[in-house]
Homo-oligomer: A and B are copies of this chain.
Amino acid sequence: MSAWCCVNGRYGPIDEATVPINDRGFLFGDSVYEVFHVHDGRLWAAERHYRRLGRSLEAIGLNADLEAIRGWVDETLRQSRLAEAMVYLHVTRGVAPRNHAFPPDLKPTVVITVRPLVAMPEAERRRGVKAITVPEVRWRRRDIKSTNLLPNVLAKQQAIRAGAYEALFVEADGTVNEGSSTNVFLVRDGALHTPAKGPQILPGITRDLLVETAREQGYAVEERTVKLSELFEADEVFLSGTTTEALGVVEVDSRRIADGQVGLVTRGLFEAYSERVRQGRD
């Protein structure tokens, strides 16, 4: 079986699943989400993802039954029979006639999909990827993992059109926030630097796990403001994300980073992270 889903406890193939047009997730993007990596039939970093989901829900004042949701996620995954998969979990405020303000006691809509994990080809990962930069135009609460993703979509599309993998959002003063679906790191003189957490970036689960893994390996990691100019002077730049893991960036805005190869620290961290996933040490 594959590409299975669940909508409020009803299971079936993704292609047949629907939500009402009056769902506030559809009308307003009044919803939050998570994407999980499933390894060996097990949700990787489940507690971290559910904690972040809880924070997103709280930030937008949405009460949902997290225990019921966890049960649905487990059952959808079981029915999919997939061992290496991606789970997408989307919780909306529910269904009501269109009005910005919402009635109390709406029943949230919970959509869960499970798809086979499509791993990046080895050769591509070894070669590294290109990134472009785009002006930071998003709303100021990027720490909430909401489905208001239009600017991210447009930025990613611009990257693809430019032959790049990712677009990095950069403030007018040169501050680098994150990619459209990834966090960003640089390596300089053997130390890692990545934008500090706050409203300006998503607190990435893989970001946190990579910071921990790097520190375990003896690297210094600074979480602070990162400027675009620093990327160009870095020894290595890499992206992090649930499916991206640690992915070397060899070019930004058509400028080569260091020698244009994926660096040793990035490669080592990717290996250590993969090993951590295999060990289930989340």
| Residue positions of A touching B, CB distance < 8 A | 5, 7, 14-15, 17-30, 60-61, 88, 90, 97-98, 100-102, 111, 113, 115, 135, 137-141, 146-154, 156-157, 159-160, 180-181
Contacts of A154 in B (CB 8 A): 60-61
Report which of B19, B101, B151 forms a contact with A26, defined as CB distance below 8 A: B19
Q: A18-B18, A19-B18, A147-B29 are in contact. Are A102 and B153 (CB under 8 A)?
A: yes
> Is B30 a contact of A153 with CB atoms below 8 Å?
yes
| A218 CB to nearest chain B CB (Å) | 35
7 more CB-based (< 8 A) A-B contacts, given A26-B147, A29-B29, A148-B150 = A27-B147, A28-B149, A28-B150, A29-B150, A101-B157, A137-B141, A148-B149
Copy total for this chain: 2
> Is B160 a contact of A101 with CB atoms below 8 Å?
yes
Q: A20-B15, A20-B17 are in contact. Are A153 and B28 (CB under 8 A)?
A: yes
Contacts of A18 in B (CB 8 A): 18-21
Contacts of A139 in B (CB 8 A): 137-139, 148, 150-151
Contacts of A149 in B (CB 8 A): 27-30, 100, 148
Shortest 6 CB-CB contacts between residues of A and residues of B: A18-B18, A29-B29, A100-B156, A148-B148, A137-B140, A28-B149
Q: What's the dominant secondary structure at chain A's contact region? A: mixed
Contacts of A115 in B (CB 8 A): 97
| A33 CB to nearest chain B CB (Å) | 8
| A214 CB to nearest chain B CB (Å) | 27
Contacts of A29 in B (CB 8 A): 28-29, 147-150
Report which of B26, B88, B181 forms a contact with A100, defined as CB distance below 8 A: B181
Bound complex: CA of A272 vs CA of B29, how far in Å? 36
Bound complex: CA of A181 vs CA of B98, how far in Å? 12
Contacts of A27 in B (CB 8 A): 90, 147, 149
Bound complex: CA of A156 vs CA of B100, how far in Å? 6
Bound complex: CA of A18 vs CA of B147, how far in Å? 18
Bound complex: CA of A267 vs CA of B22, how far in Å? 34
Bound complex: CA of A111 vs CA of B160, how far in Å? 29
Bound complex: CA of A150 vs CA of B22, how far in Å? 15
Bound complex: CA of A52 vs CA of B90, how far in Å? 31
Contacts of A22 in B (CB 8 A): 14-15
